[in-house]
Amino acid sequence: MRRFEVPLHVPRGESTTLRCEFDLQGERLYSVKWYKGGREFFRHVPNEQPKKQVYEVTGVNVDVSTCQNLSFFVIYLRTRRRA
């Protein structure tokens, strides 16, 4: 892994970026998975259909529309305000 960026705290209702950059050195990517509080909220598995999946996790809203590069994943995340 070349770079891994996750903020320690995101104020409620604010957006942030999660970044995972890696060098596969010729190997194939098996999976990239993101968790919050032990619960998976995003996964990319190239050998599955659909390749990208977003899971409902309280307080997390994921926009993966820009997650297109094979050497890194950038997840745009907005925390939810309480109703």
The per-residue pLDDT string of the chain (83 residues; one tens digit each, 9 = 90 and over) reads: 888 888 888 887 788 888 888 888 888 889 989 898 999 988 989 899 998 899 998 888 887 776 666 555 666 666 666 65
Look at residue 29 in the predicted model and tell me its pLDDT: 84
Check: pTM over 0.85? Answer yes or no: no
Count of helices and strands (H, E) across the chain? 0, 7
Cβ atoms 52, 44 nearer than 8 A: yes
Look at residue 76 in the predicted model and tell me its pLDDT: 65
